[in-house]
Structure 1
Amino acid sequence: MTTGSLTMAPAPSRGVATLAIVSSAACWGLATVMSKGALSVLPPLSLVTVQLITSVTLTWVLILAINGIPRIDRAARRAALNGILEPGLSYVVGMQGLALTSASSASLIGATEPVLSLGLLFLLFRVKSKQRDILAIILAVIGAGCVTVTGGEDGTGQFAGDMLIVGGTLFAALYVVLSSRLSEHAPPLLMAGMQQGLGLIVVAIAAAVALSLGWEQISRWPTMGEWLFIIASGLVQHAIAFWLYLIAVRTIPVQQASLFLTLVPVFGVGGAVLFLGEPLSTMQVAGSALILVALLVASVDRKKILKRDRPPL
């Protein structure tokens, strides 16, 4: 598929995969806080476009530096189409919703992604989840609700914004389900570069339409410090997070990958406390603890659904 050193390495060990997916959840959680702040500088689609340009540029610089121009076969190109879902459609819709509703509402709705992923997994591939996985995800979603239902902004949530977040979450859940079956078609770094490249095309077209029709307006040019902050948020939310996630799902089944994503609001709330000075409630601490219990429940039995047991595409 490729030449040089950027080749398909063996799937990572369970420990490495777990560290990778927890780190990706941390990136997404902290990046939500960063993006909410950056929305005061740029409108939603313009912000995502700049973030993705930064991420795609860095990712492809690394790919070319490691390997030169890679050869990409048909299976890898098909797998790259998943980028249309996320970061493409998911962020086009979701970032608009984040601009209209509160960060806590967005996190609460996003916390339902594991349940949506299990539903899509059954509908598309007829894969039934084990009772332990279902119990763990129920506990984790309840915990995520406790983390995000308190605090946040005052009454600014709008129904339209919430519905946009729901739409973005559906696209993200579909991405999660398909990624677990497409991740072996290319090395994680190359897959991230291809998917984000396609996602950038989707986002850039949407941003161009929004700006030309006056749906979005850039009121002022960002300062150098603001540009650096936006660039950093793009690297954290896209380049690093997606690369780590694609590493992890080569080993971790989609049921458990979805479970780990309930850590996103935990890191998001933690980031808001550390960087924005928001208070931490007892309910949020209890919710975070419940998510950790859910992860422990899912970790009791490591003899989970093996890749060879999964239905083919």
Structure 2
Amino acid sequence: MNRTKIPIPIFIVIAIIAISFSSIFVRWSDASAAVTAMYRLFITNVLMLPLLWGHLPEIRRIRPREWGRLAMSGIMLGLHFLFWMQSLHYTTVASSTAILTLEPIFVLAGAFMLHGVRTSREALLAMILAIIGAICIGWGDFQFSGTALRGDILSFIGTVAVAFHMLLGKKLRDHISAFVYSFFVFLFAGLTLAATNVYTGEAFAGYPLRDWIVFGLLAVVSTIFGHYIFNWLLKYMKASSVSMTVLGEPLGASVLAYFLLGEKITLVQLGAGLILLIGVALFLRSNEGD
């Protein structure tokens, strides 16, 4: 793996905290999931646009096949935002984010089938430990009927989509910078959501100031300080390791939901969070030490 002198663990913590705010911001907005996600990404593109000029030589070197992969990675990210953010309107933050913990399993399986990437037995056991902890965080909120079940299914579909996004991103990030990769992936994801909104007849304007503030917070906090950092990390870590760090989101989101949304959090969930963190730490030490 590529190495950098930059303290990667610090960036991992920043990114986890940033994405943990996503579910809180979504709950604060009355706009539909597709509209919220679309403006989140387009605002991010606008903020990144002034720096794009300096990357024009790199952009010109991108080959047609790579443009296709960038588009597909963006479409998968757009679908992830669409389904996962919609799930938060039907189920709890803890339940929805706990389902996201399936992502590293899909990424690990995909990396093996597509690229022959293997991992150690110790790393697999650590992954299982972390996922058990994450599932326990949301277990009390899982429901197997009604709208909550619908929310859990939407979160599951969103998890499959983001796993594909991560696998495509790892391949592209081997020779495309984090900035260029992120800009166009966010752009393609935003266009995917825009097309969805046109098809469903969603309004593109007329939202109150509160919604626009939420769109901006999602762009700056959760996308730039969250997803952009994870895209950057793909250069220095295995895709399965990056996806494992995302497992910190259920704990972070549950704690934030307790303070900001009034959702309950139990001692069992706190204990499960500790198990999750131990599992993630053990996985990273084993998987990145290969």
TM-score by length of 1: 0.81
Task: Check if 1:272 corresponds to 2:248.
Answer: no
Task: Check if 1:181 corresponds to 2:181.
Answer: no
Match of 2:233 in 1: 248
Match of 1:36 in 2: 27
Specify the code of the residue in structure 2 equivalent to 1:192.
Answer: S
Match of 2:104 in 1: 114
- RMSD, matched Cα: 2.8
Displacement of 1:257 after TM fit? Answer: 1.7
Displacement of 1:228 after TM fit? Answer: 1.4
**Aligned positions of 1:1-313 closer than 5 A:** 13=4, 16-38=7-29, 41-64=30-53, 67=54, 69-72=56-59, 73-75=61-63, 77-150=67-140, 157-211=147-201, 216=202, 221-301=206-286, 304-305=289-290
State the secondary structure of the residue aligned to 2:21. Answer: helix
Displacement of 1:161 after TM fit? Answer: 3.0
Specify the code of the residue in structure 2 equivalent to 1:225.
Answer: R
Q: 1:108 to 1:21 in 2, by over 3 A?
A: same
Q: 1:100 to 1:25 in 2, by over 3 A?
A: same
Displacement of 1:299 after TM fit? Answer: 4.6
Q: Distance in 1 between matches of 2:284 and 2:114?
A: 26
Amino-acid identity (%): 18
| Count of matched residue positions in the alignment of Structure 1 and Structure 2 | 287
Contact 2:108 2:240 in 1 (8 A): yes
Displacement of 1:204 after TM fit? Answer: 0.3
Contact 2:73 2:169 in 1 (8 A): no
Displacement of 1:237 after TM fit? Answer: 2.6
TM-score by length of 2: 0.87
Q: 1:161 to 1:59 in 2, by over 3 A?
A: same
Displacement of 1:79 after TM fit? Answer: 4.7
Specify the code of the residue in structure 2 equivalent to 1:49.
Answer: M
Displacement of 1:141 after TM fit? Answer: 0.5
Specify the code of the residue in structure 2 equivalent to 1:27.
Answer: A
Q: Distance in 2 between matches of 1:224 and 1:36?
A: 15
Q: 1:83 to 1:59 in 2, by over 3 A?
A: farther
Q: Distance in 2 between matches of 1:208 and 1:217?
A: 8
Unpaired runs of at least 5, structure 1: 1-9, 306-313
Specify the code of the residue in structure 2 equivalent to 1:147.
Answer: I
Match of 1:4 in 2: none
Q: 1:26 to 1:86 in 2, by over 3 A?
A: farther
Q: Distance in 2 between matches of 1:118 and 1:303?
A: 13
Displacement of 1:151 after TM fit? Answer: 5.3
Unpaired runs of at least 5, structure 2: none
Contact 1:129 1:255 in 2 (8 A): no
Q: Distance in 2 between matches of 1:158 and 1:276?
A: 17
State the secondary structure of the residue aligned to 1:101. Answer: coil
Match of 1:311 in 2: none
Q: Distance in 1 between matches of 2:230 and 2:181?
A: 11
